[in-house]
Structure 1
Amino acid sequence: MNQESVMTLAHQAMYVGLLLAAPLLLVALVVGLVVSLFQAATQINESTLSFIPKLLAIAITMVIAGPWMLTTILDYLRQTLTNIPTLVN
């Protein structure tokens, strides 16, 4: 296993991790922004108010994007495990 193969594996792992985290992070960002705008407009300064909408939005996103996320991680895992013999040599 040379340096190039290790770097390729690390790059692929980071790419898949970013690809899987992006929908959840974007949903949390948008919901947090909307709740913050609502709080600013109504002058409600409660920090716990944004927690429940973010939690619900992330849960809904997990239900909707869950099959795609599972397929993506399983494809990556299958590809990585299949390539182990070629990486060892």
Structure 2
Amino acid sequence: MDETLFFDSLRQGLWVATLISMPVLTAALIAGVIVGLFQALTSIQEMTLTFVPKLAAIVVVYWVSMSFMTATLVDFFQAEIVPLIAGT
């Protein structure tokens, strides 16, 4: 395997990982900011108040975007990894 081919495949794999993680990380960020603002406005400093809404948002977004994540990974493997393994 050529060095440039390896690094190109690695770069594309990291980009796919970034695309796949963006919906979940965005949901966690938005839920965290909303809960943080709520805590700052009400002076409630309950630890479970920060954890439970973020977890719920992550689970919902993960469930909704699962088909996108699966399709992206399958496309990457079929277009990039399988031809490398097959040697074509």
* Counterpart residue number, 1:25: 25
Unaligned runs of 5+ in 1: none
CA RMSD of aligned residues (A): 1.0
Give the whole-Å Cα distance in 2 for the aligned partners of 1:16 and 1:69: 9
* Counterpart residue number, 1:83: 84
- Amino acid in the other structure paired with 1:50: T
Report the CA distance between 1:48 and its aligned residue: 2.5
Report the CA distance between 1:46 and its aligned residue: 1.9
- Amino acid in the other structure paired with 2:64: I
Equivalences, count: 86
Matched, 1:10 2:10: yes
- Amino acid in the other structure paired with 1:18: T
* Counterpart residue number, 2:55: 55
* Counterpart residue number, 1:66: 66
**Alignment deviations for residues 20-79 of structure 1 (CA, whole Å, 9 cap, x no partner):** 001100110000000000000000112331111111111110111111111111111112
Unaligned runs of 5+ in 2: none
Give the TM-score of the pair, scaled to structure 2.
Answer: 0.91
Q: Which runs of 4+ in 1 moved over 4 A?
A: none
Q: Which aligned pairs between 1:37-48 and structure 2 lie closer than 5 A? A: 37-48=37-48
Give the whole-Å Cα distance in 2 for the aligned partners of 1:66 and 1:11: 23
Give the TM-score of the pair, scaled to structure 1.
Answer: 0.90
- What's the % identity of the aligned pairs? 35
